[in-house]
Amino acid sequence: MQPIRSVIDVGSETFLSNDKAYRDLVSTLNERMQWAIDGGPGRERSIERHLGRGKVMVRKRIDMVIDVDSPFVEFSTLSGWGQYDNTVPGAGIVTGIGLVHGVPYVFIANDATVKGGSLVPMAIKKHVRAQDIAAENGLGVIYLVDSGGAFLPLQDEIFPDKDHFGGSFYRQARLSAQGLPQLSVVLGGCTAGGAYVPALSDEVIMVEGIGRIFLGGPPIVKAALGEIISPDELGGAEVHTTTSGVSDYRVGSEEEAYGLLRDICLATNQRKITDRQPWADWDEPEPPLYKPEELYGIVSADDRVPFDAVEIVARLVDGSRFRSFKPEWGSSIVCGFARIWGHLTGIIANNGIIFSDSALKATHFIELCEQRRIPLIFLQNTSGYMVGSDSEAAGIAKHGAKMVAAVANATVPKYTVLIGGSYGAGNYGMCGRGFNPRFLYAWPNSRIATMAAATAETVLTDIRLGGLKGDDTTEEEIAAIRAEIRHQYETQSDPYHATSRLWDDGLIDPIQTRDVLGLSLALAARQDEPAAGPGLVYRM
């Protein structure tokens, strides 16, 4: 593979203007990430009470478990942003992947300083998403439980449906049955449905004095039976470790609990992050030839102005080496082979609108990667498939459908990064959330919607006006309709609106992309080869 020769002038006015605009985006992202971690104003009393009980903050708990100086990749830090009156930072739960003795585990940890650890709807969605990541990547799960259970005022959005609270129990039981360890440390209340998280675990540690498990707490017991009992007498560590057997170990402090947890992990017989299997083609990694920070100046500050996907690839892949597939055909999609942190990958990246030839090129390339068992990476920046009489006559609907079908049927690991626009069916053809990529990350300049705000303003205004009776609609009324539609689409396509609802696994700084993808690929490489599908046939 030959290195990409970048043509970017890093001293040009355009580059410097883009760079400044993107650094502002990253600054906003960092500020909002810190808000989610700190919890914003009004949380101080909850934190004070939490620490006053001798407890440790949620992210410090994770740090005390994972290997020293090892990374923790947190998912969906900004989940819940703008929802629940912004009173539930991070949806009150922290999820991610960390290493314990070199073995990757998914962590699901309640933040008891947010509504006492009670689970709002987005917390359930985040919990379930973390379990799905564990299942697909063959990872055990560590639960750091400190939760009051479901947030009852929103019970109809939490309790009865397929991916609600019960879905998390279903997944936990299935993960355990697959030999993926389910380990719990009980650090606070586990009430009602929350009691089943430790009860369904393979091994349970309870911290004396703060850890409690009961299906019905003291108020319920009093109301139902007239029995007056303290929380520790009802479901404390001593009861459940020495009498009921719900807990396997009792410890006197959080520090002791995490030391014991690390000892338990030594005997779980799980593959380390470096245990690459023969099917995964790997070589010694090398850094890109170009600085990752240059991504800031390449991405256009004006999202109507395109940027070259090849220049993005040059700053993500090993040695900036890239073997382009069909480089002289279907130029609105870039396809080719490269390595990221030593892992051989197939990369599909948009250069704008997807035409028929580009769709067929991508379909062909996806099938090559499926045949050769090479993981796929999709870099999305598209307004969708081309419209118009010429495109329809050329069969864009069928050619786009072939690409969509190829993505849906590819069994190799798939990963998606939204580096720009993600509009219409282009989101599907480029492996959007609905097509189950193993991970989907987004940059803070990204946008996702059925169409761009400007397009929606024109289309929906015409439709709205067509439905109005009479011809007496004033210019002011038309302007108000346009403004309403534009505001709706600009708001709903905003990356923070998307990440709040877990349409991605997290907003990331572009310069983190290479490392995040490298870890994601390493998780797949330690697994047995994914079973191949029935095979696809490429047809022009």
For the segment 419-447, the average pLDDT, to the nearest whole number, is 96
Q: Does residue 480 or residue 176 have the better pLDDT?
A: 176
Q: What is the average pLDDT across 123-145?
A: 97
Predicted confidence at residue 460, as pLDDT, reads: 77
165-202, pLDDT tens digit by residue? 789 999 999 999 999 999 999 999 888 778 899 999 99
pLDDT of 237: 95
Q: Which two tokens stand for residue 243?
A: 């009498």
List beta partners, residue 414: 376
Give the type of residue at 513.
Answer: T
Could you read off the pLDDT of 506-536 as tens digits, one per residue? 999 999 999 999 999 999 999 999 888 776 6
Crossing angle, helix 254-265 and helix 58-65, to 10 degrees? Answer: 40
What pLDDT, on the 0 to 100 scale, is given for residue 157? Answer: 75
Task: Tell me what pLDDT residue 221 has.
Answer: 87
CA atoms in the 13 A half-sphere facing the CB of 215: 4
pLDDT of 527? 97
Predicted local distance difference test score (pLDDT) of residue 347? 98
For tokens 């003795």, name the residue.
101
Tell whether the model's pLDDT for residue 152 goes beyond 70: no
Q: Residue 57 pLDDT more than 80?
A: yes
Give me the pLDDT at residue 223, please.
87
Query: pLDDT at residue 470 above 80?
Result: no
Cα–Cα distance between 288 and 514 in angstroms, integer?
10
Where does the pLDDT of residue 455 fall: very low under 50, low under 70, confident under 90, or very high at 90 and above? confident
**Rounded Cα distance, 373 and 281, in Å:** 9
Give me the amino acid identity at 421: G
φ, ψ of residue 207 in degrees (nearest 5):
-95, 120
Give pLDDT, residue 394. Answer: 86
Residue 99: band (very low, low, confident or very high) from pLDDT cuts 50, 70, 90: very high
Percent of the chain having pLDDT more than 90?
75
CA atoms of 273 and 282, how far apart (whole Å): 13
* Contact indicator for 254, 56 with CB cutoff of 8 Å: yes
Residue 84's pLDDT band (cuts 50, 70, 90) = very high
Asked whether the predicted pLDDT for residue 540 surpasses 80, the reply is: no
Residue 538 reports pLDDT greater than 60: no
Residue with tokens 């597939």: 325
Among 282, 303, 315, 300, smallest CA distance to 513 is for 315
The pLDDT confidence band at residue 215, using thresholds 50, 70 and 90, is confident
Given a contact cutoff of 8 angstroms between Cβ atoms, the answer to whether 187 and 261 are in contact is no
Q: What is the mean pLDDT of residues 369-384?
A: 96
For residue 42, pLDDT beyond 80? no
Note the residue count of the chain.
540
pLDDT at 366 over 60: yes
CA 424-425-429 angle, to 5 degrees, is 135
pLDDT of residue 468: 66
353, pLDDT greater than 60:
yes
Q: State the greatest distance between any 2 C-alpha atoms of the chain, in Å, as a whole number.
A: 81
Specify the pTM.
0.94
For residue 273, give the amino acid letter. I
Given pLDDT bands bounded at 50, 70 and 90, which one contains residue 457? confident
Residue 51 has which token pair? 């620490």
pLDDT at 150 over 80: no
What local confidence, expressed as pLDDT, does residue 486 receive?
85
HSE-CB at 40 with a 13 A cutoff on CA atoms is 15
Q: Is the pLDDT of residue 485 over 60?
A: yes
pLDDT of residue 478: 82
Instruction: Give residue 318's pLDDT band: very low, low, confident or very high (50, 70, 90).
Output: very high
First-to-final CA distance of the chain:
27
pLDDT tens readout for residues 155-166: 777 778 788 878
